[in-house]
């Protein structure tokens, strides 16, 4: 017999939250993705109050008013600034509820496999204060796998490589559990930093984040371009004079900059694939790897990785949404959710269990 409380679970919101370094995604049962906003807040330096959240704060970035700073409270996939993370998450959750049910009974969130005790606690506390009901936490790699269509019943192994803004997370999944994982603090954002560095050092031009992002998404490629002479007009501030300035940048010029970062990411992937047990390695040899995360949208990335790791490479459908869709999927398999959720920080792998006298 189904009790009234378990019945309620079906009619009220169940939320999936992917709190990333660059963006926060929220999906709600029955409504798919309801929120996709940059993980930033705009803070007034004088009052210390938050003046804008998410997209609105992001749009101020690089052109902030005198007393305003736009900051990202998460670094490398984990909470770096607790107070701002907490307020930002509460704001996003509230926004995600509008238009749907006002009550949220349960939520599932993702976290990195190597998250520490302290980091997970911070995330849980932030979630508690956002009033999203009971919170389940699970490893990001597993969510990315389910969100890419990997079945929890599949006993053969799949390899999922999530390239986010601040992290690259590799998970080998079989039978609905992670058999091996690794995460490194390198991601797509490092390409932006490398581009800004290059332009400043070699072209004498200081550029903002909006400019490097546009260069990366609209112009850059990680496979040797055929038309290396193709140019793009890039504006910024002259390093010498400080005046507004512009230079012509060619695709051939920035290709090595992009490739140097991607080579490091490919190296982490290749290295992780040498750590597998023979049967798992055999499965991956046949199946190759699945790419998720915003970094998977980089032009030429699949071909590049295919050549570097010598395996088939598939980009997941809408790779930025794979993790949050995988989280949402968990509500359809409650027994699996119970099995994979890691709510007690001390049962996490890699986290140190404090010695109790």
Ligand X SMILES: Nc1ncnc2c1ncn2[C@@H]1O[C@H](COP(=O)(O)OP(=O)(O)OP(=O)(O)O)[C@@H](O)[C@H]1O
Residues binding ligand X (CB under 6 A): 20-23, 77, 164-167, 187-189, 213, 216-217, 293-295, 297-298, 320
Please report how close the Cβ of residue 201 comes to ligand X at its closest, in angstroms. Answer: 21
Tokens of 357: 């006298």
Q: How many residues bind Mg ion (CB under 5 A)?
A: 2
- Per-residue contact flags (x/-) with Mg ion for residues 3 to 42, judged by CB under 5 A: -----------------x----------------------
Query: CB under 8 Å to 105, separation ≥6 — which residues?
Result: 8, 9, 12, 13, 14, 133, 134
Q: Using CA atoms, how far apart are residues 275 and 29, in angstroms rounded to an integer?
A: 37
The closest of 70, 73, 71, 75 to 90, measured between CA atoms, is 73
Nearer to Mg ion, 79 or 276 (CB): 79
By CB under 5 A, residue 164 contacts Mg ion? yes
Nearer to Mg ion, 199 or 324 (CB): 324
Contacted by 309, from Mg ion, ligand X, none: CB < 5 to 8 Å by type: none
Q: Using CA atoms, how far apart are residues 203 and 4, in angstroms rounded to an integer?
A: 67
Nearer to ligand X, 283 or 294 (CB): 294
Please report how close the Cβ of residue 185 comes to Mg ion at its closest, in angstroms. Answer: 13
Please report how close the Cβ of residue 255 comes to ligand X at its closest, in angstroms. Answer: 14
Q: Using CA atoms, how far apart are residues 171 and 37, in angstroms rounded to an integer?
A: 25
Q: Using CA atoms, how far apart are residues 147 and 326, in angstroms rounded to an integer?
A: 4
Q: Using CA atoms, how far apart are residues 317 and 26, in angstroms rounded to an integer?
A: 17
Nearer to ligand X, 42 or 222 (CB): 222
Tokens of 93: 């959750």
Contacted by 297, from Mg ion, ligand X, none: CB < 5 to 8 Å by type: ligand X
Q: Are 147 and 316 in contact (CB under 8 A)?
A: yes
Nearer to ligand X, 43 or 112 (CB): 112
By CB under 5 A, residue 326 contacts Mg ion? no
Query: CB under 8 Å to 196, separation ≥6 — which residues?
Result: 206, 207, 209, 212
Binding stretches for Mg ion (CB under 5 A): 20, 164
């Amino acid at each position: 017999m189904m009790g009234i409380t378990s019945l309620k679970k079906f009619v009220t919101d169940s939320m999936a939250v992917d709190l990333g370094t660059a963006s926060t995604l929220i999906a709600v049962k029955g409504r798919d993705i309801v929120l996709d906003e940059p993980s930033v807040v705009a803070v007034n330096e004088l009052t210390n109050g938050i003046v804008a959240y998410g997209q609105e704060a992001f749009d101020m970035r690089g052109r902030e008013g005198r007393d305003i700073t736009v900051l990202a409270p998460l670094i490398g996939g984990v909470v770096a600034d607790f107070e701002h993370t907490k307020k930002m998450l509460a704001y996003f959750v509230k926004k995600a509820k509008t238009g749907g049910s006002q009550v949220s009974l349960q939520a599932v969130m993702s976290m990195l496999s190597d998250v520490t005790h302290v980091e997970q606690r911070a995330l849980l506390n932030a979630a508690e204060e956002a009033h999203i009901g009971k919170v389940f936490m699970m490893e990001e790699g597993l969510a990315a796998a389910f969100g890419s269509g990997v079945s929890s019943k599949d006993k053969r192994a799949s390899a999922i490589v999530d390239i986010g803004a601040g992290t690259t997370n590799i998970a080998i999944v079989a039978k609905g559990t992670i058999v091996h994982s690794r995460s490194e603090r390198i991601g797509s954002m490092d390409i932006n930093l490398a581009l800004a560095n290059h332009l400043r050092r070699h072209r004498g031009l200081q550029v903002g984040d909006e400019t490097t992002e546009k260069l990366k998404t609209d112009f850059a490629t990680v496979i040797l371009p055929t038309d290396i002479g193709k140019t793009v007009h890039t504006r910024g501030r002259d390093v010498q004079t400080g005046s507004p300035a512009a230079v012509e940048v060619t695709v051939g010029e920035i290709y090595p900059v992009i490739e140097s970062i991607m080579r490091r990411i490919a190296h982490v992937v290749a290295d992780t694939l040498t750590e597998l047990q023979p049967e798992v390695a055999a499965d991956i040899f046949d199946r190759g790897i699945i790419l998720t995360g915003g970094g998977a949208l980089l032009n030429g990335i699949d071909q590049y990785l295919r050549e570097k790791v010598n395996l088939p490479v598939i980009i997941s459908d809408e790779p930025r949404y794979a993790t949050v869709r995988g989280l949402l999927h968990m509500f359809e398999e409650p027994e699996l959710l119970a099995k994979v959720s890691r709510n007690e920080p001390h049962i996490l792998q890699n986290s140190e269990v404090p010695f109790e006298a």
